[in-house]
Structure 1
């Protein structure tokens, strides 16, 4: 199977389409909620609390969602979660209709969305290896990553433009996009649904953690991305940069939010056609260091064009670690464990985005937006250099071929 034929495989094409639509919807919602909350409060702390509201349910539910993803049909889980997210966006739409001026219900909807995505993310990740051949997994991972990056280009830009037309418009579009994603997942057909073979038990609940601890390469890759994303959460402060430093509006915020994804999309498409065949571990660490440098450049910039270039470079460097991590996790994890390992992966990576937003918001509230971004960039580089010594097996990883 040639790399481009992965996209012609119908189950994977439906999977890719569902990821695009779900991610587009989530990005649109993030832009709208961020701008709405900042417009109401003019507070970096309030922005940080949005991330916290999304993080807490993901953190609390991590072990449960992995168990669910290994026991039940992963397609059904994703369908239900995307439907819930669509309804949550519809509630925000109705709130806009009634003129909400209180951020509390917005935080509540953010928490509900975070809970739904806690179940959706590991289920979709665990579903991927069942759709393609093992030797095509790196290609499929790269294309799957490109789905997220495509969404992160289209979603923020569309969210910014549609927010300019009104909160009712943007939240209505978000609801429709989530429901389209749910329909795409429902249309996926594979030979059999994956079921967990081990009985439900306290030991099985924590078995994903034990498995990751026994695999230094996986533990190193996940923890490296955790700290890189946690410290490098510059995107959480984009409403502050757009409004107070770069002096632009919702449309400008949407373009800034899309810039990292534009760089990442270019990188993921490149990796889909020219996969890492050697020195994958070295490429992983180099990408994280480049991510930190790009974060520092963005933090120092007061020019929107320089900021856009820095954010694009940030996204391009980040996609290297994403593809390496996804491929390593999928290749080294047995199918019956993928839900539980995927849930911990989501906690390490997905929820670190929200926790990183909280950390950035709190740091910016204490020291200012620019120092907060610079601290994150420098911290990312330090972590990468330390992890190279802490996980030599990860640094020595050569191939990602199955």
Structure 2
């Protein structure tokens, strides 16, 4: 096998099955999320309601994250993921019923809205398990020397699904309506569950099975806190995503500012993922482990610039280009972060470390959505987006000068050590 084989991870059959499963799951999840956004804003015409969607997901996702990581490290990963997907299918079916006129025609808008928020809340609970379980399962499918390449392909698959999910969701809302779009989503979730069972059950590598919960959680937090590369990447990304959450306000831009309807909304929603996907495919051929710290800081700075341009734009194609390049910069950030986590996390702690990651970065997406909704209500939509982008720039500049060790982070030595282990 070539030393710098860009297809190294794809040469493992189980990893390809994993990618098909992940694509179907993320495709369904991302499509469902924009359908929810569209439906809620159509009901309320209030940008704050979009922020509440984020808040409903972040509360359970954040509060359960560490406990979920402990459970993941103690359990068999394939069956745990199957249980999560099965529960997610029930949420999708519930949303399908909530948008069926035959069922909710006599319901008030408030009841329908509260029902949607309740299901989003349940989805946040499940999401606290999804991230750690998937992160841990990858490490059991490919050998350590393939981790950086596997992280790139896994992230690329996630982004491809995030490209097609929103675009397809916007198109289907226009063609067949919200209700039947949710029916398709339900079918995709069931398909991902069926594919997952093609992967055999995996061994539990944790030597501390039965370890007390508090001791286990403290160990995970202590490891992340003492690993400067991990804590630096997570903190930087958390703040940047928190203040750069313009995507949550896209229904407002699509309906009221750019006036491009549901199909334009799908294009806007997909544009960042297109940029990120293309970027991550490139990194499979051009590893970015050299000067990783500087590259991460530079790309997040570029992300902030793109968010500001998008906020100020009143021209559809300019907005699409700005969102595309926000995805390009975010894609590099994601690959670097995932590579850091895979290379520096011991097998028996992957669930807990991934949970801390979800608290920092994953939850900040929803918290960022809430922040965007609140600031849009207080400042106006455009001002809120520009404010968020400016805070992202300030975060990067502060980190550059305040943390020279992170600025000079280089991952080449870690990659070489894992290659020697083979």
TM-score of the superposition, structure 2-length normalised? 0.92
Is residue 127 of structure 1 aligned with residue 137 of structure 2?
yes
Residue 393 of structure 1 and its aligned partner are, at CA, apart by 2.1
Aligned pairs for 1:7-18 (under 5 A) are 7-18=10-21
**Structure 1: how far apart are the matches of 2:182 and 2:272?**
23
Q: Flag structure 1 segments of 5+ consecutive residues without an equivalent.
A: none
Contact 1:260-1:313 within 8 A present in 2 as well: yes
**Structure 2: how far apart are the matches of 1:91 and 1:326?**
33
Bigger mean CA offset, 115-124 vs 384-393: 384-393
1:246 to 233, 243, 258: 258
**Structure 2: how far apart are the matches of 1:152 and 1:191?**
28
Contact 2:250-2:268 within 8 A present in 1 as well: yes
Q: Describe the SS at the equivalent of 2:69.
A: helix
Partner of 1:49: 52
Bigger mean CA offset, 5-14 vs 317-326: 5-14
CA offsets 1:94-125 (integer angstroms, 9 cap, x no match): 12112363300000011111111111111101
Partner of 1:149: 159
**Structure 2: how far apart are the matches of 1:167 and 1:68?**
35
**Structure 1: how far apart are the matches of 2:226 and 2:19?**
31
Aligned pairs for 1:81-160 (under 5 A) are 81-97=84-100, 98-99=103-104, 101=109, 102-160=112-170
Contact 1:140-1:272 within 8 A present in 2 as well: no
Q: Flag structure 2 segments of 5+ consecutive residues without an equivalent.
A: none
Residue 190 of structure 1 and its aligned partner are, at CA, apart by 6.2
Is residue 76 of structure 1 aligned with residue 86 of structure 2?
no
Is residue 23 of structure 1 aligned with residue 26 of structure 2?
yes
2:61 to 58, 63, 67: 58
Is residue 177 of structure 1 aligned with residue 188 of structure 2?
yes
TM-score of the superposition, structure 1-length normalised? 0.97
Residue 137 of structure 1 and its aligned partner are, at CA, apart by 1.4
Partner of 1:368: 380
**Structure 1: how far apart are the matches of 2:165 and 2:29?**
8
Residue 300 of structure 1 and its aligned partner are, at CA, apart by 0.7
Partner of 1:222: 234
CA offsets 1:165-205 (integer angstroms, 9 cap, x no match): 12221111111111222222222136624445251231212
Contact 2:78-2:201 within 8 A present in 1 as well: no
Bigger mean CA offset, 125-134 vs 264-273: 125-134
Q: Which runs of 4+ in 1 moved over 3 A?
A: 193-196
Bigger mean CA offset, 3-12 vs 101-110: 3-12
Contact 2:78-2:199 within 8 A present in 1 as well: yes
Query: Highest Rg: 1 or 2?
Result: 2
Task: Summarize the Cα distance change of 1:108–1:295 in structure 2 as closer, same or farther, 3 Å threshold.
Answer: same
Q: Describe the SS at the equivalent of 2:183.
A: helix
What is the number of residues matched between the two proteins?
Answer: 402
**Structure 1: how far apart are the matches of 2:212 and 2:16?**
33
CA offsets 1:260-309 (integer angstroms, 9 cap, x no match): 00000000000011111411111111110000011111111111101111
Contact 1:363-1:372 within 8 A present in 2 as well: yes
